[in-house]
Structure 1
Amino acid sequence: MTVYPSEAPRQGLVHQYPVVVFFLIAYAFSWTIGGLLIADYQGALSVPGALHYVSAFGPMVAAIVVTALISGRPGLLDLWRRGMRADVGWRWWLIGVGTPVALGVAAIVVFWLSNGVLPDLALFGEVDYLGAIGALAALALWIATYGFGEEVGWRGFAFHRMEGGGWVQAAVMIGVLWGLWHLPYFFYKANFIALGIGGFAGYLISITMGSILLSWMYRGSGRSILVVALWHGLFDFVSASPIAEGVGNALISSVVIVWVIVILWLARRDRASA
């Protein structure tokens, strides 16, 4: 847990329970927008579907607000520096950027083998609620929203403060809360509604696995929010595209699951030998 000098003399609920307050704000911001989108889906009112992407900024907003309240300028500067930290070494750039790109290539190959033709790469530029905005615009959207919008909060604030009690335990706890944060999607977004209750349980497990992977990446990269935000945004850019539907997404998910199992095995081995 990082404590800044300006935090020590202050008192109050936010200073005593910063992580709790962070989650409350993140949920309140995103679920308020989610509620509007649910009402729109039910026909009770009309709002732009693009608000779906605005809801992704809940964790970032919460991280900035709570950091400003409990540690002021020094904390905000530290959050900014970690958000822009690029001096992580070639290995972590290869992991942060190279692995999702490799998964994208794998999705293209799977599509080709399944359909007998190479996919139109313009499909990477198709996003829900906005249509065909172009691959570069879609990539920028994913990195800004579900990359930085989420990772500044989940890893940059919550995990950064919780990992002292054991990084795997912290990653799992955040993974569950992160998964529950997506709950409104299951009431207005068609592909989530199709998953049903049983699908939600599976989704929660997959999100928790993702939390472990991103937390491991955050620690290994010297606590670079930049690296995990780029990985997250690139991963969503690939996995949410029509090219990765079906078998492609199954392959991508399998790779991540195996990757996380290896990470946990190595973490357990390191603890045993310590």
Structure 2
Amino acid sequence: MRKRPLLTYFALSYGVTWLCWLPYILSETGVGVLPIRFPEVLGSSQTLGILPGAYLGPVMAAFVVTAVADGRPGLRRWAARLVRWRVAPRWYLGVILAVPVVAVAATFPIPGALADLRTPDISVLLMYVPMLALQCVTTGLAEEPGWRDFAQPRLQARYGPLAGSLILGPLWGAWHLPLFFSEWAGRSGADWTMMVEFIGSAIPLSIVMAWVFNRTNESLPVVMLFHAGVNTVYSLAWAELFPSLDEFGDSLHSLAIGSGVAAVVLLIATRGRLGYEPLAAREPAGAGTR
């Protein structure tokens, strides 16, 4: 762990999460090998089937590797980013507003999307904020203390912000691959083209999230809000806005378009620096950056 903290982190994240997800994937909610079905909690079987493994993988791996590789000082830096709430309000407001606007605009290039656009039911609007909060403490808290809080600083300190994001993006996306063999992927299921597109869209999305992370002085709450916003839009509101489009496949096209355009704009605007300031990096330049 001390010599190869990043490699150990990714191995632990994948190994622990995939092992925990195995019963869910093999159950009736997945490929149907096991004659069991996970009960629905909070309206979905994914709560018990996916969330425990998601928490135990990235978060546990980040905590253990940081403790071994960097000791208490490293744990304090890791935890400090997790509770760095004091960020200019414009960042919170910007994330909350920009994510749904970009998601909707990025759907219009899909054939038939503009004609299909509908006004969402009032219940969707009422549920948006509670769902956003729930996504922050589920998906956001389960993933971002690992991918962005642990891996992002080390990768960009060693390779730079762009190359670091190009490395992190596919690894983050591929971590989700077993879920394609479950009801998580909706009607699309285990379609290899969707898997490739999902991993591909994780690359520009990682670039955008790296910029948010760096420009907010490495504030994990803002990054978690961004991640939660993406999930909330596509899991709650998107299908109501575009009822005739494929809920998983076409929403993935929208995500790829929106994140791709945003990433290109940010790369041009920041000349590839993505708000990263090496002298202000909080991770040690020696041990713990590989």
RMSD of the TM alignment (CA)? 3.2
Contact 2:118 / 2:240 at 8 angstroms: preserved in 1?
A: no
Report what 1:201 is aligned to.
Answer: 196
Contact 2:201 / 2:255 at 8 angstroms: preserved in 1?
A: no
Report what 1:38 is aligned to.
Answer: 25
- Structure 1 pair 268/72, CA: closer, same or farther in 2 (3 Å)? same
Does residue 260 of structure 2 align to residue 263 of structure 1?
Answer: no
CA distance in 1, matches of 2:129, 2:6: 35
Q: 1:56 aligns with which of 48, 54, 66?
A: 54
Report what 1:159 is aligned to.
Answer: 152
TM superposition score normalised by structure 2: 0.74
Mean Cα displacement is larger for which, 22-31 or 45-54?
A: 45-54
- Structure 1 pair 45/62, CA: closer, same or farther in 2 (3 Å)? farther
Contact 1:124 / 1:243 at 8 angstroms: preserved in 2?
A: no
Deviation track 1:34-78 (CA, whole Å, cap 9, x = no partner) reads 211111022314252332222322212211121122233322222
5+ unaligned residues in a row in structure 1: which ranges? 1-13, 126-133
Deviation at 1:223, TM superposition (A): 0.8
Counterparts of 1:84-163 in structure 2, within 5 Å, are 84-103=83-102, 114=115, 118-123=119-124, 135=128, 137-163=130-156
5+ unaligned residues in a row in structure 2: which ranges? 39-44, 275-290
Contact 1:152 / 1:225 at 8 angstroms: preserved in 2?
A: yes
CA distance in 1, matches of 2:86, 2:63: 23
- Structure 1 pair 27/265, CA: closer, same or farther in 2 (3 Å)? same
Describe the SS at the equivalent of 2:86. coil
CA distance in 1, matches of 2:95, 2:118: 29
Mean Cα displacement is larger for which, 175-184 or 134-143?
A: 134-143
Mean Cα displacement is larger for which, 225-234 or 184-193?
A: 184-193
Contact 1:139 / 1:233 at 8 angstroms: preserved in 2?
A: yes
- Structure 1 pair 121/153, CA: closer, same or farther in 2 (3 Å)? farther
Contact 1:185 / 1:193 at 8 angstroms: preserved in 2?
A: no
Deviation track 1:101-138 (CA, whole Å, cap 9, x = no partner) reads 5457769x9xx97557522243478xxxxxxxx55553
CA distance in 1, matches of 2:271, 2:118: 44
List, as ranges, runs of 4+ consecutive aligned residues in structure 1 with deviation greater than 4 Å.
103-107, 112-117, 134-137, 250-253
CA distance in 1, matches of 2:125, 2:19: 29
Q: If each structure's helix is expressed as a fraction of its own residues, which one has the higher value?
A: 1
Report what 1:235 is aligned to.
Answer: 230
- Structure 1 pair 121/78, CA: closer, same or farther in 2 (3 Å)? farther
Mean Cα displacement is larger for which, 165-174 or 185-194?
A: 185-194
CA distance in 2, matches of 1:207, 1:161: 19
- Structure 1 pair 207/192, CA: closer, same or farther in 2 (3 Å)? farther
Identity of aligned residues (%): 28
Q: 1:182 aligns with which of 176, 181, 185?
A: 176
Mean Cα displacement is larger for which, 21-30 or 249-258?
A: 249-258
Describe the SS at the equivalent of 1:16. coil
- Structure 1 pair 86/120, CA: closer, same or farther in 2 (3 Å)? same
Mean Cα displacement is larger for which, 41-50 or 219-228?
A: 41-50
CA distance in 2, matches of 1:156, 1:91: 22
TM superposition score normalised by structure 1: 0.78
Q: Which amino acid aligns with 2:174?
A: L
